[in-house]
Amino acid sequence: MSWNDERVELLKKLWSDGLSASQIAGELGGITRNAVIGKVHRLGLSGRAKAPAVAARPRKAARPDTPAQRPQAPVRPATHGNTALAPAFEELVDSAPAPAPAPQPSNNVLPIGQRCTIMNLTESTCRWPLGEPGTDAFYFCGGRSLTGMPYCAQHARMAYQPVQDRRRDRRVARI
C-alpha cells in the first residue's frame, strides 16, 4: 500500500500517542514495522509521548565509616548438595608444573655462516626467525633441522611443549 494523506495523518497521531512502530503497522494494515520507521524518519517526527515514569526509589546512603569487608573463600562441604561428587581442585593437581628450562646463553648467537635469508631456506634448514622482519638484521637460524620438523634441535625445544605438560595444563584449565 502507498502512503496517502489520510494514512500519514493517522501515522502522526498514533506516533504522538506513543504507539510502537509494530503497533502502528498493525493499525494501518498492509505495512511493515520498518516502513513505519522509515516514514517517521522521512517526516522528521520526533519526541513521542512517553508513559509516565515510575518514581525512582531513593537510594540508601552508604556508610563511609564502615570498613570494607574482605570476601571470604567459599567453604565447600564434602558430602552435601550438588557438589558432593565433584572432584576437589587439590585432588586434580598431582604436583606443581615443571619449571621452564633456563634460557641458554647462546640462544640468539649464531655463526654468521649459518644464518640465512628466506631465499636460502631449504627443507633441511632451520626456519627459526631472528631479528625484526623488514630490517637488514632479520635472518633465519639456518642450522640443520630435525627430520620432519622445521626447526633445529635447540629451537624445536623452544617451540614445542612435551605432551604430558600440555595435558596437565588442560586438566588444570577445566576447573
Q: What is the pLDDT of residues 62-100, one digit of tens each?
A: 565 555 666 665 555 555 555 555 655 555 555 666 666
pLDDT band at 34 (very low <50, low <70, confident <90, very high): very high
pLDDT over threshold 80, residue 38 = yes
pLDDT over threshold 60, residue 28 = yes
Rg (CA), the chain: 35
pLDDT over threshold 60, residue 53 = no
pLDDT over threshold 60, residue 54 = no
Q: What pLDDT was estimated at residue 158?
A: 82
Which own/partner pairs from 7-13 qualify as long-range (CB within 8 Å, at least 24 positions apart)? 8/39, 8/43, 11/36, 11/39, 11/40, 11/43, 12/43, 12/45
Q: What is the pTM of this model?
A: 0.33
* Nearest-angstrom CA–CA distance, 112 and 116: 9
Q: How far is CA 66 from the centre of its chain?
A: 37
pLDDT digits (tens, 9 = 90+) for 97-138: 666 665 554 455 667 767 888 888 888 899 988 888 888 888
* Nearest-angstrom CA–CA distance, 32 and 15: 15
- Which residue shows C-alpha cell 623452544? 158
Mean pLDDT of the chain: 75
* Nearest-angstrom CA–CA distance, 164 and 125: 28
